[in-house]
């Protein structure tokens, strides 16, 4: 059997990451994703199932990897998620983007901000100024350094998961990662 040694997650999860779950969880699942990618939309529900299964044993992190050559709205959607995050609503906006993946134009992004009760004037200004473009670019480049070449791409405890990402496969990988930590 041929094994491939992928690079480790670079940089490791830090205080600037968007995180769900306890910091002391034995398993950290990082996803590099693209809001316009149909596979990432599918993975969104799968990750939710893994989170429910693992409970407090899982910390989930999402990093942006917009494939703008094939998904023209992905970069702007990622910046919008960051603008929402600046107002404390990253995860709500993140979920809304996947729920409404077919509508990621600027006017739709603004309507999502309004629906979440965000300061729309601030949201529009930051989006227009490209305030969060460097952060999205940093996420993308960290993905490149980590060996990401498509979306979704997952890492368990800093190591790339390069097999199936259906519910059963991701739960099994999470359980294996937990077992390694608990030894």
pLDDT value at 165 more than 80: yes
3 within some domain: no
36-74 pLDDT per residue, tens: 999 999 999 999 999 999 999 999 999 999 999 999 999
pLDDT value at 33 more than 70: yes
183 within some domain: no
Counting residues of the chain whose pLDDT is more than 90, the rounded percentage is 92
pLDDT of residue 182: 85
Residue in the block written with tokens 């259906």: 166
Average pLDDT over residues 8-17: 94
Domain, as residue range, for 97: 18-178
10 within some domain: no
Report residue 127 as tokens: 């989006």
Domain count, the chain: 1
pLDDT value at 10 more than 70: yes
86-145 pLDDT per residue, tens: 999 999 999 999 999 999 999 999 999 999 999 999 999 999 999 999 999 999 999 999
pLDDT of residue 2: 55
13 within some domain: no
**CA nearest neighbour of 74 among 158, 150, 161:** 150
pLDDT of residue 54: 98
What are the residues whose beta carbons fall under 8 Å from the beta carbon of 111, sequence distance 6 or more? Answer: none
Q: Are 78 and 66 in contact (CB under 8 A)?
A: yes
Categorize the per-residue pLDDT at 7 as very low, low, confident or very high, splitting at 50, 70 and 90. Answer: confident
pLDDT of residue 72: 98
6 within some domain: no
Which domain CATH number covers 151?
Answer: 3.40.30.10
Taking the C-alpha atoms of residue 127 and residue 84, their distance in angstroms, rounded to an integer, is: 10
Taking the C-alpha atoms of residue 168 and residue 138, their distance in angstroms, rounded to an integer, is: 31
């Amino acid at each position: 059997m041929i094994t491939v040694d992928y690079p480790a997650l670079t940089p490791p999860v830090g205080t600037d990451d968007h995180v769900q779950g306890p910091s002391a969880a034995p398993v950290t699942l990082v996803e590099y994703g693209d809001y316009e990618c149909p596979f990432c939309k599918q993975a969104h529900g799968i990750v939710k199932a893994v989170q429910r299964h693992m409970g407090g044993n899982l910390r989930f992190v999402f990093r942006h990897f917009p494939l703008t050559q094939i998904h023209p709205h992905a970069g702007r959607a990622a910046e919008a998620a960051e603008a929402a995050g600046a107002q404390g609503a990253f995860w709500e906006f993140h979920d809304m983007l996947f729920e409404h993946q077919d509508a990621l134009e600027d006017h739709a992004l603004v309507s999502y901000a309004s629906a979440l009760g965000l300061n729309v004037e601030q949201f529009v200004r930051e989006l227009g100024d490209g305030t969060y473009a460097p952060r999205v670019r940093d996420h993308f480049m960290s993905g490149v350094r980590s060996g990401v070449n498509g979306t979704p791409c997952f890492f368990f405890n800093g190591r790339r998961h390069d097999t199936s990402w259906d519910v059963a496969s991701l739960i099994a990988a999470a359980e294996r990662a937990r077992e390694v930590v608990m030894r």
